[in-house]
Amino acid sequence: MKTTKISRRGVLKGGAAFAAGSTLGAPMIWAQNIKDVTLRQFGTGVSNLNEVGQKVKEDLGFTLEMTALDTDSVTQRAATQPNSFDIADIEYFICKKVWPAGNLQAMDTSKIKNYDKIVGIFRDGKLTPESTIAQGTAPHTVGFTSGPDGTDFVQEESGWMTLIPTIYNADTLGIRPDLIGRPIKNWSELLNPEFKGKASILDISSIGIMDMAMVIESMGEHTYGDKGNMTKDEIDMTLAIFTEAKKAGQFRAFWKSFDESVNLMASGEVVIQSMWSPAITAVKSKGIECVYQPLEEGYRSWGGGIGLSKALTGLERDAAYEYINWYLDGWVGGFLMRQGYYSAVPETSKNYMSENEWGYWFEGKEATDVITSPFGDPLAQVGEMRDGGSFEQRMGSVACWNSVMDQNQYMVRKWNEFIAA
């Protein structure tokens, strides 16, 4: 008689076969309704906020999973892992890089309820009919494509958007007025030897190079044809000046993540540096004086938007459109504007903000009551005004947009050399 023995190996083999069978052969169960839908969104920390995810669940019923990454990782993922996300929350200059790869799908503007109310910056490029278009990758230049399957960019409102604009702002230098003790009016102050060992710039090449260009123009060293699209010579010259400053000990550190910039400023290691608006808010909420200093040469601006993965279809895509319409409906706008950003459809956000908040954040008026962040920290007292003033004043003095250059690869290599110098 043949005896069957249960060997360890046999059990292992059986187990492996079972595991393989159950994953490979699992029946696809399609969601019966939108409540079961889960959309995976990723983007930079700015708008990937858990509060938004919770509110989506409340208002729309489906689940939004969010992953926050740094700018470089976002680009990387959008370009190389199209199946790892449903919604990409990316910046317009990243869009210029990744759109031609075909990982995102064009969005039909006729399905966007508030499309007509989206500010001009994202449609024809003009804030008001008289405004001039700033240098760099202006959002409207990469905002539209030729059709549902387009991988190109078109310069008119074609009805097919690459990204639905969600959030944008004008960036400038952050300073510690208590440690500087005099007015700061120009970008050139970043390289002022007075701040030797107390300055910082961000180590994200595509943004850092623009801040450098603002400084160099302000110093009167050079006037760029387009700060957002430099020639090789301009790149060499720009980085040479900054390398010299680095070797002379001008910089305390370079920062790559939001938290680093907050810590550098709050600890007093740095008194003047490139900074982002919520980082200023974070420093202020620790009770430390910090100003988002408006400068004569204007702002370096950026804009972000939501893009849909090419792989998104059917019910998930419907849910994504619903999410976009909800995004532009005002709640998120109000939430973001109370942190100092702007919403693509400001007028809907007004419904979700108090008159005082709207006056302070959007109209540049004096606060009539204490202004608090969405998380409850006081940011401004009665009578204080927002650094830089109103929406029109701030977004009206944009000198250049975050961009990606034709000589990007060359610039990146040169940037690496700057860091290693």
Q: Is 329 helix (H, G, I), strand (E, B) or coil?
A: coil
* Smallest separation, CB 271 to other proteins (Å): 10
Residue 290 to residue 264: CA distance in whole angstroms: 12
* Smallest separation, CB 139 to other proteins (Å): 19
251 touching other proteins, by CB under 8 A: yes
* Smallest separation, CB 100 to other proteins (Å): 7
Given candidates 38, 50, 73, 83, which one binds other proteins under the rule CB under 8 A? Answer: 73
* Region label for 299, one of left (φ > 0), alpha (ψ between -120 and 50) or beta (otherwise): beta
Residue 49 to residue 336: CA distance in whole angstroms: 10
Count of alpha carbons within 13 Å of 250, Cβ hemisphere only?
Answer: 19
CB nearer to other proteins: give 5 or 182. Answer: 5
Could you say which residues in the range 10-69 bind other proteins, by CB under 8 A? none
Given candidates 55, 222, 252, 310, which one binds other proteins under the rule CB under 8 A? Answer: 252
Please measure the distance between the N-terminal and C-terminal CA atoms of the chain and give it in whole angstroms.
79
Query: For residue 127, what are the β-bridge partners?
Result: none
Using the rule CB under 8 A, give the single segment among 146-154, 158-166, 211-219, 248-256 that binds other proteins: 248-256
Given candidates 49, 79, 219, 311, which one binds other proteins under the rule CB under 8 A? Answer: 79
CB 335 within 8 A of CB 47: no
Given candidates 267, 313, 351, 381, which one binds other proteins under the rule CB under 8 A? Answer: 267
What is the DSSP track for 252-266? EEEE-SHHHHHHHHH
81 touching other proteins, by CB under 8 A: no
CB 188 within 8 A of CB 218: yes
240 touching other proteins, by CB under 8 A: no
Residue 100 to residue 122: CA distance in whole angstroms: 19
CB nearer to other proteins: give 109 or 151. Answer: 151
Beta strands in 275-388 (DSSP E): 291-293, 299-309, 342-343, 371-372, 378-380
Q: Is 91 helix (H, G, I), strand (E, B) or coil?
A: strand
76 touching other proteins, by CB under 8 A: yes
Given candidates 55, 246, 310, 365, which one binds other proteins under the rule CB under 8 A? Answer: 246
274 touching other proteins, by CB under 8 A: no
413 touching other proteins, by CB under 8 A: yes
CB 71 within 8 A of CB 94: yes
Using the rule CB under 8 A, give the single segment among 85-93, 198-206, 284-292, 342-350 that binds other proteins: 198-206
Comparing CA positions, the residue from 70, 411, 375, 361 lying closest to residue 231 is 411
Q: Is 353 helix (H, G, I), strand (E, B) or coil?
A: coil
Amino acid letter for position 203: D
Q: Which residues contact 19 (CB under 8 A, 6 or more apart)?
A: none
Query: For residue 400, what are the β-bridge partners?
Result: 135, 300
CB nearer to other proteins: give 85 or 391. Answer: 85
163 touching other proteins, by CB under 8 A: no
Q: How many residues bind other proteins (CB under 8 A)?
A: 35
80 touching other proteins, by CB under 8 A: yes
CB nearer to other proteins: give 188 or 200. Answer: 200
Using the rule CB under 8 A, give the single segment among 12-20, 381-389, 394-402, 407-415 that binds other proteins: 407-415
Q: Which residues contact 411 (CB under 8 A, 6 or more apart)?
A: 205, 206, 209, 230, 235, 405
* Smallest separation, CB 205 to other proteins (Å): 7
* Smallest separation, CB 111 to other proteins (Å): 27
Beta strands in 31-127 (DSSP E): 38-44, 63-69, 87-91, 104-105, 107-108
CB nearer to other proteins: give 267 or 313. Answer: 267
Query: Listing from the earlier edge strand, what are the strands of the sheet with 272-274?
Result: 251-255, 199-202, 272-274, 173-175, 291-293
* Smallest separation, CB 126 to other proteins (Å): 29
* Smallest separation, CB 273 to other proteins (Å): 11
Could you say which residues in the range 385-404 bind other proteins, by CB under 8 A? 404
Given candidates 12, 16, 101, 248, which one binds other proteins under the rule CB under 8 A? Answer: 101
Residue 98 to residue 188: CA distance in whole angstroms: 33
Residues that bind other proteins (CB under 8 A): 72-73, 75-76, 79-80, 97-98, 100-101, 197, 200, 203, 205, 246, 251-256, 263, 267-269, 404, 408-409, 412-413, 416-417, 419-421
